[in-house]
Structure 1
Amino acid sequence: MNILFVHQNMPGQYREMVQWLAAQKQHQIYFLTQRQKPPSFEGVETRIYKTHRRPAKDAYGLSKVWEECSANGYGAILAARQIEAKEGFKPDIIIGHVGWGELTFFKELWADVPIIGFFEYYYSATGGPVGFDPDDTVSEQAPFMMHARNAVPVMNLQTVDKGVSPTLWQRNRFPSSFHDKLYVSHDGIRTDLLKPKPTVKLPLGRLGRELTRQDEVVTYVTRNLEHTRGFHIFMRALPEILAARPNARVLVLGGNDVSYGSKVATPGGLRAEMEAEVGDRVDWDRVHFLGQVPYGDYQRIIQVSRCHIYLTMPFVLSWSLLESMSMGATVVASDVAPVREAITHNETGLLVDFFDPAALAAQVVEVLEKPKAYEHLGKAARQHVIENYDFLTKCLPEHIAEINALVPAGKQIEIP
């Protein structure tokens, strides 16, 4: 089969699928992306497309996102035309993310080629991170700006033959009129590779020795240290955690940029702002900001953790939560709807009020103090991920079934 993946930041949600399909050595696979230095996968032809234009800085706010996304879509089409004209490649199916507009015009190029689109998030001024924190001011324009962003998924609902959302919460963000066209299946977690490792050892330069499972290690992981992922709540809980557990060490992973929401005005970002707020109430010798680390190091950090903290406002669920659960971590997480889809309190993890750093600290301290009393949660969490989110046995078969339903019998994908 000829398969075209489209994602502006390759591989995006298709990290596992594209590599699995390439490993079968039965398909011709192209990946169209804006990423200037994309990863290289054996058996995958990567082609970079350029957006057709950028909106002006003073472009009208309500249509600015659509202008940018439609330019992405046309840029992707121009690149696809070149691939067909110069390389003779025409896909049997197109799989891509709808959020940046890249898929919007593919039916105008190849009307007969089926498309499966990834529907990640439907914007509104209620029910998500906007207005969730009562201390955050929501402008009177916010509802209109949020809804204007939905021009892209609304148009792409007519473009795709089938859509997918990774969780029920994300699917249910979309109006009910979308639901018949959307199936729910996660991208998939490699539980066969992401396992607990009781013998794990983690070198820590400042400490001068390796950390092991015998150490009281607290972990917090996010792409960037920001409000949406609760970094400010985490930092406000630190003084009590470190005071109550004098041997605890805290490992923080994440960059100092912003992935979601607005940047703070403080030079040095939210990290600098929160360091100033908690000040000398924190023993900084026991807090290790590790930035963004290689994937193997990230695994060892989670494997050595006695208590893993996952915080988020109501927003898309991070891979890191499910990966941590797969590695058997005892997770203390924010009690919000998307997290409750993955964690049942006192069964597969522990949930606390997002806005209560004292409750967060108390729960983490108890886990550190009584690890045996809570180790069953990590085991149950791993089993839950295996049963509901495993890539090879759960998610991959669901995605392949949806692909096969759209292509002729002679081109269908077989799972060994």
Structure 2
Amino acid sequence: MNFLIVHQNMPGQYRELLDWLVERGGHQIVFLTQRRNYPDTPGVTKVVYKPHHTPAKDAYGLSRVWEEAAGMGYGAALAARGLKERGFVPDIILGHTGWGELLFMKHIYPDVPILGFFEYFYLEKGGPVGFDPEDPANETAPFLLQARNAVPYTNINVVDRGLCPTRWQRDCFPETFHDKLYVCHDGIRTDKLKPKADVSLQLGRIGRITRDDEIFTYVARNMERTRGFHLFMRALPKIQAARPNARVLIVGGNDTSYGKKSESEGGFRAEMEAEVGHLIDWDRTHFLGQVPYNDFQKIIQISRCHIYLTMPFVLSWSLLESMAMQATIVASDVAPVREAITDGETGLLTDFFDPQGLADKVSAVLSDPARFAHLGRAARKHVVETYDFLNVCLPQHIAQINDMVPADKRIIM
């Protein structure tokens, strides 16, 4: 089968599917992206497109949303037209709908079915906007959110079918979208992500750490409000006071992925260090930055208690990956997390706004990990049964793809 996959940050949500298609062989795969530095992959032709134009920084905010999306869509369409002129015609197009890259694909390939990835519909209520009283939405937020939603509103009429990785994300979209959307996660490689009793990691001046050490962890793409970094930092001194031998490993960058950027030099981390830094034992606090994936696995495998915090928003891969590695997790009690974790069965849930409650639960796990070990075992079982890539998610995705292409093009698993 000929695949055209479109995602500005290759491979994005197509990481596992792309690897599987390449390993299987027999397919022609073209990946259209803006990411120049992604390494060349045997069996995949990477084509870098350039957005057609970038609006001026002082452009009117509401129109800039559409300008950026249309510019990406037009740039991707021009690159696709070049592919077509060179003789490449896909049997199916897979792509993320969030940035506008698919907007004009039907003008290039009018007869090719498109399966679009619908990640998030911007909510005025029920999502991260206005969720935290410390960060209230301003009066322009409803207008900006509706302007952003012009992109999915257009895309639902461009694609032939769409998918959402979780029910919560699907339910963020209007009901008028639902007939075109199916729910299935990208998939977790539970065959590769497992607990490991003898794992160890070299940690700078601290030396080698293992599961014998009292380690707890916090992971986010970036240290930001949406992922509850401020609540974690406020709970940290309380955990350290209760557990004087515990060390925390903190993984993530110092930028902003979601929500507004911090105005402080040094980002949101600097803000929180100014607030609670005098209460923290810095000899037992280790900011590791963004780490290689193999090191991330070891960090979670070593962890006695893993903290996952988020406002109501897109569920992080790291949560499900940590569950697959049998981590004992304390997570924020919000709707998207409750879809993956049942309190007291596959993890512990805590009020997002209660740093003392968070500290108490983490400290309890650290003090008696054996008493809570059943949560990690149940978490792995749940991910294997619900989110496993090879046995649960992949067959659903292939069935949807096969339903969109001629019988002689279908993939036989």
Query: Shorter-chain TM-score: what band?
Result: over 0.9
Please say if 1:108 is aligned against 2:107.
yes
Which residue number in structure 2 is paired with residue 5 of structure 1? 5
Q: Distance in 1 between matches of 2:186 and 2:312?
A: 19
Which residue number in structure 1 is paired with residue 158 of structure 2? 159
Which residue number in structure 1 is paired with residue 247 of structure 2? 249
Paired residues of 1:226 and 1:258 also in contact (CA < 8 A): yes
Q: Distance in 1 between matches of 2:292 and 2:10?
A: 17
Which residue number in structure 1 is paired with residue 380 of structure 2? 382
Q: Distance in 1 between matches of 2:3 and 2:201?
A: 40
Secondary structure at the aligned position of 1:47 is classed as: strand
Which residue number in structure 1 is paired with residue 172 of structure 2? 173
1:40: Cα distance to partner? 2.5
Q: Distance in 2 between matches of 1:62 and 1:283?
A: 45
Paired residues of 1:10 and 1:39 also in contact (CA < 8 A): no
Which residue number in structure 2 is paired with residue 52 of structure 1? 52
Q: Distance in 2 between matches of 1:255 and 1:402?
A: 36
Q: Distance in 1 between matches of 2:199 and 2:137?
A: 45
Paired residues of 2:70 and 2:103 also in contact (CA < 8 A): yes
Paired residues of 2:129 and 2:136 also in contact (CA < 8 A): no
Which residue number in structure 1 is paired with residue 32 of structure 2? 32
1:81: Cα distance to partner? 1.1
After the TM superposition, list the runs of 4 or more consecutive aligned residues in structure 1 that deviate by more than 4 angstroms: none
The one-letter code matched in structure 2 to 1:204 is: L
Which residue number in structure 1 is paired with residue 193 of structure 2? 194
Which residue number in structure 2 is paired with residue 354 of structure 1? 352
1:36: Cα distance to partner? 1.8
Secondary structure at the aligned position of 1:158 is classed as: coil
Which residue number in structure 2 is paired with residue 268 of structure 1? 266
Which residue number in structure 2 is paired with residue 92 of structure 1? 91
Provide, for residues 264-299 of structure 1, a one-character-per-residue CA deviation record: whole Å limited to 9, x for no partner: 111111111111111221110000000001000000
The one-letter code matched in structure 2 to 1:111 is: P
Paired residues of 1:19 and 1:41 also in contact (CA < 8 A): no
1:110: Cα distance to partner? 1.0
Which residue number in structure 2 is paired with residue 77 of structure 1? 77
After TM superposition, the structure 1 = structure 2 runs for residues 272-283 of structure 1, keeping only pairs within 5 Å, are 272-283=270-281
Normalising to structure 1: TM-score of the pair? 0.98
Q: Distance in 1 between matches of 2:277 and 2:151?
A: 44
Paired residues of 2:221 and 2:253 also in contact (CA < 8 A): yes
| Number of residues of Structure 1 aligned to a counterpart in Structure 2 | 413
Secondary structure at the aligned position of 1:206 is classed as: helix
1:60: Cα distance to partner? 2.1
Structure 1 portions without partners, runs of 5+: none
Which residue number in structure 2 is paired with residue 259 of structure 1? 257
The one-letter code matched in structure 1 to 2:271 is: E
1:396: Cα distance to partner? 0.3
Secondary structure at the aligned position of 2:360 is classed as: helix
Which residue number in structure 2 is paired with residue 127 of structure 1? 126
Structure 2 portions without partners, runs of 5+: none
Q: Distance in 2 between matches of 1:108 and 1:122?
A: 25
Q: Distance in 2 between matches of 1:230 and 1:56?
A: 33
The one-letter code matched in structure 1 to 2:322 is: S
Which residue number in structure 2 is paired with residue 342 of structure 1? 340
Please say if 1:64 is aligned against 2:64.
yes
After TM superposition, the structure 1 = structure 2 runs for residues 205-216 of structure 1, keeping only pairs within 5 Å, are 205-208=204-207, 210-216=208-214
The one-letter code matched in structure 2 to 1:271 is: R
Normalising to structure 2: TM-score of the pair? 0.99
1:124: Cα distance to partner? 2.1
Aligned counterpart in structure 2 of residue 236 of structure 1, from 234, 254, 261: 234
Which residue number in structure 1 is paired with residue 296 of structure 2? 298
Provide, for residues 286-317 of structure 1, a one-character-per-residue CA deviation record: whole Å limited to 9, x for no partner: 00000001000000000000000000000000
